[in-house]
Structures are given as C-alpha cells and as structure tokens.
Structure 1
Amino acid sequence: MQQLSNGLVAAGNGAGMQLKELSERAGVSPASIKFYLREGLLPAGRSVHATRAEYSEHHVSRLELIQALRHVVGLPLAKISSLLKMADGGAPRLELLAAVQRTVLSLDEVSSEHDDLRTPGGDAVVRFRNWPDVPSDARNALNAHLTLMESLGVPADNELLDAYSRAVDSIAAVNISATTAPDDINQLIMTAAVGMHLHGQLVLKLLALAHASHAIRRYENEA
C-alpha cells in the first residue's frame, strides 16, 4: 500500500500552495490548519524559507478527511489521530480497514471480557455465510450482543440469524467494493469511514420503513 509520505513527496514535485490557498481549497480556517499541524494530524508542508511552507493536494485531501471524520462521522480528535498515525505508518490495508470499522462502529467499546468469545449463534452465522472463521472485533461484538439477547430472554434463533446474515452479506459485498478502489490513503479512509457510517444509518432507516410498512398492512383496517 502506498504510504502517505510517498504521496507527499510525489505531490511536492508540482506547484505547491501557501497556507491561505490551502485554507480556501479545503474550507478550513488557517488557525485550524495550524492546530492540526501542531498536533500531527496534518503533515508539515515543504519548507520554502524560515516563515513559509508550501502544501500539496495531499494536504487538501487530509483536511477534507479530518473534517468528514469530525463532522459527519462524529469522531473525537484523539480517535482521528490514532487512525491517521496508522495510515501514515504504512499499516496494511486490511489492518487499517479493521481499525476504521472498530472506531466508527465503536467496536472498541466491547468489554475485553468478550474477547474471542464464542457463541453457537455466532458460529452458525459464520457457517451459514461461509465467512472466514477467524477472531475479529466485529465477531466479538456480535457474540457479546447475542449473549446479551440471550440473557434478556430474546434469543436469536438460527432461522433469524440465517435471514439477517444473508441480507447484510449482500449489503457488505456492495459496500466493500467501494473501499478497495482508492489508492490515496486519505480517500480510502474517507470512503470506508463515511460510507460505513452513512450506509449503516441507511440500513437502519430502511429497516424502520420496512417495519412500518408491514405494520400498516397488518393493522391499517383496525380502528
């Protein structure tokens, strides 16, 4: 995977832009840009002389990513910083996408007591869909939720899990195709994080509409 630092070097060979132009292009105030530079969220520009630096298209892309993660996905700066450090450090794409999923969906909030927890329902889902039988944050979160449902007296049987997993498998196949396309690391994170957040909300809204529609059909004649 191409690292951001390599992209910055390549971009630096072309005409650069000063802070004012970078601010206008990205729609971010100069003060915020300077803050991101100090905090390490934005790589330093190419030094022109002691008091001036030039910035590249990668800086524009990085600023757009930071803004999207903050204002669309709603991530705090600490979590954004963690993701960007992984990206700048050249983390493998699969590892980076797993971190994006863990952060955006708050899978990291699953208690450590659920790490590598196995449940019959979770194992059944993997078997139904022929998904890789390997530990992951997503699988831990599913197993923790199935355990919670069981404890509350609303267990998910295999018929329900088969139907649900079949539906989301089709959705995931469409979504993942978009995240494998961008070569630019900022665009990769943007596509994965924003897409995961918005598509997840879309699925919930569609499910709500489906429930409402079925209820209307069933009960509309009752008065």
Structure 2
Amino acid sequence: MQLKQLSERSGISPASIKYYLREGLLPGGEAIHATRAEYSARHLERLDLIQALRKIVGLNIAQIRGLVKMADGVPRLDLLAAVQRVVLNLENYTTAVGGDAAAATDAVVRLRGWPDSPSDARSALTAHLELMASLNIPVSEDELETYSKAADDVARIDIAATTAPESVDKLILTAAVGMHTHSQLLLKLLALAQASHAIRRYLG
C-alpha cells in the first residue's frame, strides 16, 4: 500500500506518519521510485504500537523510540525488562548496597523462589523499602509475605498473557499496555478492598 492507503487503514494522518518516519519510530517503506514507497502490514502493526504507547500508556516520542529500536535483535527478556522500566517508571531508582531494606528484598526473593538476579524491579523494591523505613513506616515480615504472595499470583497471570505474541511489535504492545492497565487495575481493586474493610470496621 502507498502512504495514502496506510493513512486510511491506520486512521493516522499522512503528516503524522511522515513525522514517525523522520523520528525513526516507523521503518521506511520499500522504494518504488524517488518519490514513492510501498508499505506493508508490518507498518500498520508498528503504527498500532506507536498509538497505543502514546495514547494508552502515555509515553513520549523518545521513550517510544527507545523501545522500538530494541524490537530487532534484542532478547525478549531484555525487551520486557525495558518495557517494564519505562512503563512503571523504574529507571530512576538507585539503592545502597546492604542494609535492612536490601536484606528484606533478599528475604522476599528467597521466600517466593524468584530468580536472584539484579533488575530494575529489584532495585525499585529495595529503594521503596528504604523510603518507608526513613518515614518510620515499618513493614513486617508477615506483611511482605502477604503482599509478595498476592504479587506473585498476579505476575504469573500477567506474564503468561503478555508474552504470548510471536510478533515483537505485538509483544511490546501487549506487555506495555498490559503492565500499565493491570497495575492500575490492581491499585483500584486494592482501593476498593481498603474502602470495604474500613466500612466494615466503622459502620459494622
């Protein structure tokens, strides 16, 4: 298909498509001659991904460029880690070596039998536990066990659903949208449960 048809089928203006091409978010079409190129179903798939990352997940152009550049030739585990880092804002966490928070993270990893390897998610948990300790909000072993059990159950379902697609663009799409929407779903369910327990406690 030509640019006009790609625009019609995707619902994205030719100007936006040209912008995505210039920004490196969309691969170039196959040149027919100096001023015309052919586009394929792969371009439609990439446009779906770009739109979802912008409108649903709320990523900016630089963040999207970073993810789509990894789409070719990067192991899927690394790709999923990058999606998680960007979608859940894990890239800004740094943690000190050792300390009670790191020990608590180690204990959770052992308790749940999770692979004990460095990750942004691991660092983010340790940093958050350090923050809570600095605010004098203790987290008991029982609380960590309960929370981590619930998180493990949810994560098992999420990863099974988001890693199924064969296409790398669809993998990024389902992982990014899934992480964004399911994490919000979990927060809303938690809020509802907290409200319900408060009503029981105070209204009987």
Q: If the TM-score is normalised by the length of the shorter chain, which range does it land in?
A: over 0.9
Structure 2 residue 71 is the aligned partner of structure 1 residue 87: yes
Structure 1 residues 99 and 117, CA gap change in structure 2 (3 angstroms): farther
Structure 1 residues 147 and 72, CA gap change in structure 2 (3 angstroms): same
Structure 1 residues 163 and 24, CA gap change in structure 2 (3 angstroms): same
Partner of 1:214: 197
1:1-223 equivalence runs, <5 A: 17-88=1-72, 90-111=73-94, 114=95, 119-221=102-204
TM-score of the pair, normalised by structure 2: 0.96
Give SS of 1:53's match. Answer: strand
Where does structure 1 differ by over 3 angstroms across 4 or more consecutive aligned residues?
115-118
Q: Which ranges of structure 2 fall in alignment gaps of 5 or more residues?
A: none
User: What percentage of residue pairs aligned between the two structures are identical?
Assistant: 63
Residue 50 (structure 1) shift: 1.5
CA distance in 2, matches of 1:181, 1:220: 45
Structure 1 residues 205 and 136, CA gap change in structure 2 (3 angstroms): same
CA distance in 1, matches of 2:190, 2:179: 16
Residue 156 (structure 1) shift: 1.0
CA distance in 2, matches of 1:117, 1:72: 38
Matched residue count:
202
TM-score of the pair, normalised by structure 1: 0.88
Give SS of 2:71's match. Answer: helix
Q: Which amino acid aligns with 1:84?
A: V
Q: Is the Cα–Cα contact under 8 Å of residues 116 and 140 in structure 1 kept in the other structure?
A: no
Q: Which ranges of structure 1 fall in alignment gaps of 5 or more residues?
A: 1-16
Structure 1 residues 116 and 131, CA gap change in structure 2 (3 angstroms): farther
CA distance in 2, matches of 1:30, 1:48: 18
CA distance in 1, matches of 2:111, 2:50: 38
RMSD between aligned residues: 1.2
Residue 115 (structure 1) shift: 6.6
Give SS of 1:169's match. Answer: helix
